Structure 1
Amino acid sequence: MREMNYFIVGDVHGCYYTLKKLLQNWDSDRQKLIFVGDYINKGKHSRKVVELVRELQYRYPGTVCIKGNHEYEMVRYIEDGTKNSDIKENFRNTLMDYDLRNKYRDDVKWMKRLPLYYDDGDIYVTHAGVNWLGLRKFKENSSWCVLRYRGRLKRMSRLQVFGHTPTESKRPEFNKKSNAINIDSGAGNFDNMSAVLIDDAGKIRKIYTEQIRKEDYH
């Protein structure tokens, strides 16, 4: 049986051209593709990012797309019919070019259905990480939830992979104490976008980091 490693992509935030460059490192025959969420907002190309990610899910059915807090909030805005004046600025900017209220309503349904975690016994992937107490980790409106937690993480027997909080180094950072790697290298701040290659035993093998391309924010 052919080994299947993992190629896990950090926060994207509408940076379509950078994502395409990063994905050139992915071997679709030997690596399971996983995204940690936050596909939309901040960068200029949220619609193109979602279109690409959904296409990859279709072409490679094993692809895993985790829900991020930006997808969660966008679904709430659309489903609640929130007035534009009450919507956060970067969500408002996204909606100017990406008509999720009407034309792309199916993308809203997709965002709503996204899972909060992936766990196969070798790796555990969420958007923001599991809080050290394990409290309310799947309660979507809680600050302890894997959608938006920031703080000390629960140590697991398997490697934990997450994003959400940009690292200070602007590269993925492994924390030995919590056996976890943060792969948000600041795409939302137009710094870098990263991916990590992990083998089928849950060991980190390689890190890929791309500087955000100007086409994604100018």
Structure 2
Amino acid sequence: MNLFVVGDVHGCFHTFKGLLDQHWNPDKERLVQLGDLIDRGNDTPGTLLLAKELKKRYGANAVFLMGNHEYEFSQHIENGPNEYWLPQCGFATLDQLRSANMGLQEVAEWISELPLVWENEHVMISHAGIADQVEFPFEEGNEIGVLWNRTPLKNIGRLQIIGHTPCKSGRPEYEETSHSWNIDTGAYRKVAMSAIRVTTLGEVLEIVQFNVDPRDVSEND
């Protein structure tokens, strides 16, 4: 079963759904979304509900990883006001969730169950990747761990697929030294939402880019 890996979504529900409806074949492909479902776009609630629905319907063939924005949300709910996250995008996300009558604790509990990585012998998928100099990559608060890293990646002998840092080119970018693809193309910046179709052996079959639905991003963003 091939892998259909989707980059950062950031509350862009209509774009995410359109991308999946037109390009993902759930009968033949495992979906892996590499984190940052929430924040910034206009419909975090709809995005979360879609993810929950897909997980319920397809089980292990619909995988959602934790991103740093999910981590920030959970820290806010569990440990009190997150002064870093709130002004950045948290206030808007909380307003959206309350308007949709979604329980914040329930959302936090769902997020807490998200894995940090999906991997096999040939492919590792995470939000921000295994850094070249990292000692504890799976510590959620580590600034060069798999949720936060923006430093050069390590060549781990497998294909790495990441997001987190929007590609300056607006297209998914391959880095030969680390044998990695970054597929975050800034959906919330009205650029595109991107995905990559690969075999379980790490062979790239297709790069997919999907135009951002104008309903997902406000005009003044």
Identify the TM-score tier after normalising by the shorter chain. Answer: over 0.9
Give structure 1 stretches of 5+ with no counterpart.
Answer: none
- TM-score w.r.t. the length of structure 2 is 0.92
Q: After TM superposition, give the deviation of residue 5 of structure 1 in Å.
A: 0.3
Give structure 2 stretches of 5+ with no counterpart.
Answer: none
d(CA) in 1 for partners of 2:210, 2:124: 24
Spell out, residue by residue over 1:130-169, the C-alpha distance to the aligned partner (whole angstroms, 9 max, x if none).
1002322111112111101001101021110000000011
Q: After TM superposition, give the deviation of residue 68 of structure 1 in Å.
A: 0.2
Counterpart of 2:158 in structure 1 is: 158
CA 101–127 in structure 1, closer or farther in 2 if over 3 Å, else same: farther
Q: After TM superposition, give the deviation of residue 104 of structure 1 in Å.
A: 4.1
Q: After TM superposition, give the deviation of residue 86 of structure 1 in Å.
A: 7.7
d(CA) in 2 for partners of 1:85, 1:144: 18
Coordinate RMSD, CA, aligned:
1.9
d(CA) in 1 for partners of 2:68, 2:111: 10
Out of 29, 32, 36, the residue aligned to residue 30 of structure 2 is 32
Q: Verify the 8 A CA contact 1:84 1:92 in the aligned structure 2.
A: no
Superposition pairs for residues 25-104 of structure 1, below 5 Å? 25-62=23-60, 63-82=62-81, 87-99=86-98, 103-104=103-104
CA 86–110 in structure 1, closer or farther in 2 if over 3 Å, else same: closer
Question: Identity over the aligned pairs, expressed in percent?
Answer: 35
One-letter amino acid matched to 1:124: M
CA 71–85 in structure 1, closer or farther in 2 if over 3 Å, else same: closer
d(CA) in 2 for partners of 1:47, 1:91: 13
For the pair 1:8 / 2:5, whether they are aligned, the reply is yes
- Which stretches of structure 1, 4 residues or longer, exceed 3 Å deviation after superposition? 83-86
d(CA) in 2 for partners of 1:6, 1:85: 34
After alignment, is 190-199 or 133-142 more displaced? Answer: 133-142
Q: After TM superposition, give the deviation of residue 196 of structure 1 in Å.
A: 0.4
One-letter amino acid matched to 1:93: A
